Amino acid sequence: MTDTESGTGRSRNSKHDTPLWDEDKVLALLELPFNDLIFKAHAIHRQHFDANEVQLSTLLSIKTGACPEDCAYCPQSARYQTGIKAEQLMAVDDIVTAAKNAKRDGATRFCMGAAWRNPKDRDLEAVVEAIKRVKAIGLETCATLGMLTADQARQLKIAGLDYYNHNLDSSAAFYREIVSTRSYDDRLQTLDFVRDCGISVCCGGIIGMGETRIDRASLVVTLANLPVYPESVPINMLVQVPGTPLHGAEKPDAFEFVRTIAVARITMPKAYVRLSAGRDEMSDELQAWCFFAGANSIFSGEKLLTTGNATVAHDQSLFERLGIRPQTE
């Protein structure tokens, strides 16, 4: 069994000055009494961040549907009947307009997502232009376009891309249950290309796909033990879409979700831990627990690619009630 398959990940360098993690250590954290775990995570969070500040990102689908892959959670797969209409790559002017609206609503980072297995070079030209123009209005830029070659990663870096999102989704052991068209090592290879050319990494996973606590621990171990752990770690709760194989999966326990946020904070103390997909189905109380446990980033806006999200107005109301401020830079 390889290091990746066992979930131990890769050897780390010392950029973030944190120890190596193994599955036993992370499981021990997950099994702590809830109050002890959350107290530990919150204390670490306060060492590195303002505990009452949350970074806002906005995610836009710039090319929707007709993806050839078989990710069991994804409504954009061409293999499933989900009612998603395939659309061509958006015009750059329309992308920039959406970015301006996101900035008006308080976002400091704008993420562009395309339903590709891997982008063709001709498609990348328009994405590069969009990155340049979005940066020009004063936003951080992020893209999630599928697998990249080393040369494509360099092109995105030259364009000024700040972050590249490429989630591992799950533990290596559970991964084969949800995706067969792209290997775990394929995902890690793209992360290497992105990191090697100097783009910050955004990488996390999905909770609620039928994985076990051991799988969740293994995912965290792999992320934390990357050569440099991701600067941004999205933790998603599965959004169940009719027509996808995971529709009808048992929903995860809310406290288990908070525990996962907490161990991400403890093992990757300087990362932005993003409370991502599924927020529109979460209670305000659950979100508040996640913020206390170390989540300090959200996706803002009423849609995440093709699924719903909490409204901007609701987020503003929740922040006001909690005394949370959006990060301004």
Considering 187, 274, 279, 290, which one is annotated as catalytic? 274
Position 302 scores a pLDDT of 64
Q: What is the band of 304 on the pLDDT scale with cuts at 50, 70, 90?
A: low
Position 11 scores a pLDDT of 41
Considering 142, 197, 203, 290, which one is annotated as catalytic? 142
Average pLDDT of the residues in 81-86: 79
As a whole number of Å, the end-to-end CA separation of the chain is 44
Q: Which of 16-37 are b and which e, b meaning 16 or more Cβ less than 10 Å from the residue's Cβ?
A: eebeebbbebbbebbebeeeeb
Average pLDDT of the residues in 62-88: 83
What tens digit of pLDDT does each residue of 126-145 get? 999 999 999 999 999 999 99
290 has catalytic annotation: no
Q: How many CB atoms lie within 10 A of CB 299?
A: 24
Position 79 scores a pLDDT of 82
Considering 71, 197, 203, 290, which one is annotated as catalytic? 71
User: What CA–CA distance (Å, rounded) separates 258 from 207?
Assistant: 11
274 has catalytic annotation: yes
User: What CA–CA distance (Å, rounded) separates 110 from 99?
Assistant: 6
Position 78 scores a pLDDT of 80
Among 1-5, 74-78, 187-191, name the most confident range: 187-191
SS3 for 255? helix
Position 73 scores a pLDDT of 86
Q: Is the pLDDT of residue 326 over 80?
A: yes
Contact 37, 29 (CB under 8 A): yes
What tens digit of pLDDT does each residue of 229-271 get? 999 999 999 988 888 988 888 888 999 999 999 999 999 999 9
Percent of the residues in the chain that have a pLDDT greater than 70, as a whole number: 91
Cα 232 to Cα 200, 223, 318, distances in angstroms: 8, 11, 23
Which segments within the chain are labelled E, that is strand?
Answer: 53-63, 109-114, 140-144, 163-165, 200-202, 205-207, 232-237, 272-275, 297-299, 303-304, 307-308, 325-326
Considering 197, 202, 203, 290, which one is annotated as catalytic? 202
Whole-structure pTM value? 0.87
What tens digit of pLDDT does each residue of 93-104 get? 999 999 998 898
Q: Is the pLDDT of residue 86 over 90?
A: no
Task: Report the C-alpha dihedral over residues 59, 62, 65, 69, rounded to 10 degrees.
Answer: -80
325 has catalytic annotation: no
Quote the mean pLDDT of the chain: 88
What Rg value do the Cα atoms of the chain yield, rounded? 18
